[in-house]
Amino acid sequence: MLPLFDLKGKIAVVVDILRATSCMVTSLATGVEKVIPVSKVEEALAYQGRGPLIAGERGGAKLQGFDLGNSPFEHMNQVGKAIVMTTTNGTRAINDAAEAEEVIIGAFLNLSAIKEYLISKTEDVVVVCAGWKNLYSMEDTLFAGALVDALGSDWEMDDAALAASTLYRSVEGNILGFMQQASHVKRLSGLNAEKDLAFCFEHDKFETIPILREGGLYAHNTRN
């Protein structure tokens, strides 16, 4: 759907809760200097041996020869490093959104920081849910609903925003329990990702907002 939608002049909040954007928020909040999101494995491999760490997954598993996979714990405290990252859905969604006035990266981990940032702006906002292989994903929709809820009733919502907010409100007391039925959680089972799941649904652990500038994501801290 995104290719039909005009993002020019808008702020795109790209979200891939499991797990790409949760990794990016974590890495930039804990000392990484920049994250370069690339869509293809070959693009990431082109950086091998040139300084940055290369990170990513296909089918949820770390790629052969890569330094890091797609667990936020691997991306934590890589102080001063640059990370080139490719994932099935998240990094592609970021690059697909590049024509927006501004691209920022959302996760439950920085939800309130994203809210504060958007309140300080005048542009229309599009939450770009990375989904899974162009299909709907529950966790990204829940983030969209949580953000819509946090922004409050002064904002004009489209049907998707209204539906996301209604879903979020119906499960907000038991998101992890609800997510046990979701396809991404089933896909990740067997990959030792239980710890990642719990972490990716923690709210407001960080105040860092990754912002896309000239092909790289850099940390913007809301209190700076």
Ligand X SMILES: O=C(O)[C@H](CS(=O)(=O)O)OP(=O)(O)O
Quote the CA–CA distance of 48 and 20 in Å, as a whole number: 20
Please, which residues bridge with residue 37 across strands?
85
Give me Rg for the CA atoms of the chain: 16
Which of positions 19-38 make contact with ligand X (CB under 6 A)? 19-20
Q: How far is the CB of 183 from ligand X (least distance, A)?
A: 9
Residue type, position 73, single letter: F
Any idea how long the chain is?
A: 224
Q: How far is the CB of 110 from ligand X (least distance, A)?
A: 16
The verdict on 90 binding ligand X (CB under 6 A) reads yes
Which of positions 113-132 make contact with ligand X (CB under 6 A)? 130, 132
Query: How far, CA to CA in Å, does 102 sit from each of 13, 125, 157, 169, 202?
Result: 9, 10, 20, 28, 25
Q: Which of 26, 27, 78, 89 binds ligand X (CB under 6 A)?
A: 89
Quote the CA–CA distance of 195 and 146 in Å, as a whole number: 22
Per-residue x/- mask for ligand X, residues 191 to 210, rule CB under 6 A? --------------------
If the CB atoms of residues 59 and 190 are measured against ligand X, the closer one turns out to be: 59
If the CB atoms of residues 63 and 126 are measured against ligand X, the closer one turns out to be: 63
Q: Are 77 and 29 in contact (CB under 8 A)?
A: no
Both structure tokens of 130: 């990375």
Q: How far is the CB of 23 from ligand X (least distance, A)?
A: 7
Q: How far is the CB of 187 from ligand X (least distance, A)?
A: 5
Residue type, position 88, single letter: T
The number of residues that bind ligand X (CB under 6 A) is 17
**Applying CB under 6 A, which residues contact ligand X?**
16, 18-20, 57, 59-60, 70, 87-90, 130, 132, 184, 187-188
